[in-house]
Amino acid sequence: MSGASTSGDWDYIVVGAGSAGCVLANRLSEDPRVRVLVLEAGGSDAHPYVRAPVGFLKTFQDPRFNWCYTTEPGPGVDGRAIFFPRGKVLGGSSSINGHLYVRGQARDFDTWAQMGNRGWSYDDVLPYFRRAEDRSTGADDFHGTGGPLHVSDIHERHPVCEAFIAGAEEAGVPRNPDYNGAVQEGVGYYQRTIRNGRRHSAATGFLHPVRGRRNLRVETDAHVLRVVLEDGRAAGVTWRRHGRVEHATAAAEVILAAGAVNSPHLLQLSGIGPAARLRDLGIPVAHDLPGVGEGLQDHYAVRVVHRVIGSATLNERAQGLRLWWEVARWLATGGGLLAFSPAHVGAFARSRPELELPDLQFVFTPASYTDGVVGQLQREPGMTLGVWQMRPESRGHVRARSADPDQPPAIQPNYLADETDRRAIVDGLRWGRRLLASPALEPYRGPETLPGPAARSDDELLAYARAKGATVYHAIGTCRMGADPDAVVGPDLRVRGLEGLRVVDASVMPTMVSANTNAATLMIAEKAADMIREARRGTAGRRVEGSTAATGVPAS
């Protein structure tokens, strides 16, 4: 490692060019007088695996694009350590995810506000969802057009998908053409962050169009080592790039947008977190904040799988000469197999009729995968229905293992620790079987391969869930927003007890949204950008001593 260098003064330093970081880079640099530095540990997203929607099968375990974390062994999952991917590339997890655009229920955000987070109710956040969006079907009361993020409908409707939707209606789940609209409950095709057959990540929508701004610098392969504190204020950051340690100062704020794993880990490495635990690791305590890294939540999914008869599925289209034809088709038209997201149809249902709102989310695709081999389609035609409880009660943690920034943190989601979660996952499997047993699917339904006919009782279904379930990659809550003493950030997303430091990513969510988390993360960053700009207007004319924030772009 070579000696340290200083990379100049900035107004804002954003750590992480993932979903939230890309939004912040775009919005904060709109003012040409404001200088923004973005530091991303990963590299470029200019790769076919990132651009092709089906490329998520390749990026899932590729360390070029992925932190490739693994959870701690969990008692609720038969002592298994579960692979836990997180994006490490421009666009972050929005560059490796499954493209699904799902916001959640209005009640999710109203609950945030009722927990003391004023300004975060559904009525407060809906304008930010709309501002970010470029909906292919046009604008209405719930959707926007002209925003940076393109949201489209599926390009090809498979007959097995049509039969699944008809069968869900037979089972009492109403058809719903817009689960992001007035009501979430129902069944319909997923909305996706795909444009003209290409992934439309946060980097594609928010970052790349503004990379040429003179007041914005984006550094890739920049692994941030710690936040530098001076007199209770975040003064800057230190990072390592190609073996060289560099440092930059922030006249206004340091903003952590590194995600629900890396943001709390970086805080802990910087001496911000539970004091006793930090001392045990040999990390000097800069600010005792017990909630840092606590409260991790994630969605935990299980699958019901059948063979398919009477129709080809995606399995056959991914083999031999047919696959090369699909590649050529995608290159020429943006259509075909390579333009699919991993799930085609979604359903939102109540596990029990007495519930007021849906608590189960389903993902259906006319394909099946080799058990234990991530992303490998089976040779025989199949269909898969995944299910998870949308608002789990189980909570875990993200904790530094040592003071070494190169050692990954301990990630413990505590899947299925709570009885409510165990009951819901069993109910979800029973619902899944019911949906796949519909008369409408009869012409296509072959034998069940998972969980398999032998699993009938609640105990047997729970045992299957413990043995075969996996993450849905929706980590949240480790820098929780709130007004209570255990919260890490306040409703303004400032780290409690410190100046000049905010967290803006999924880690601030106080409870899980009833959805995939990317849409809500983009919304959080949109709202945060407004709060940050408003705070700057409130301090107009003032500058940190020694800052050159009002003049030009700093030298390299």
d(CA 433, CA 472): 20
Q: Give the Cα separation of 234 and 91 in Å (integer).
A: 25
Question: 552: alpha, beta or left, given left = phi > 0 and alpha = psi -120 to 50?
Answer: left
CA distance 167 to 14: 47
Cβ proximity of 477 and 487 under 8 Å: no
Q: Whole-angstrom Cα distance, residue 155 to residue 135?
A: 14
Residue 143 annotated as catalytic: no
Q: For residue 280, give the 3-state DSSP assignment.
A: helix
Which amino acid makes up residue 223? Answer: H
Residue tagged active-site, from 99, 143, 299, 474: 474
Environment class of residue 518 by beta-carbon count within 10 Å: exposed (0-12), middle (13-18) or buried (19+)? buried
In angstroms, the CA 124 to CA 384 distance is 37
Nearest to 364 by CA among 418, 422, 436: 436
CA 286 from chain centre, in angstroms, equals: 29
Q: What are the DSSP E strand ranges found in 232-378?
A: 233-241, 244-256, 272-273, 287-288, 294-296, 300-308, 345-349, 360-365
β 198-199/216-219 pair status: unpaired
Active site residues: 474
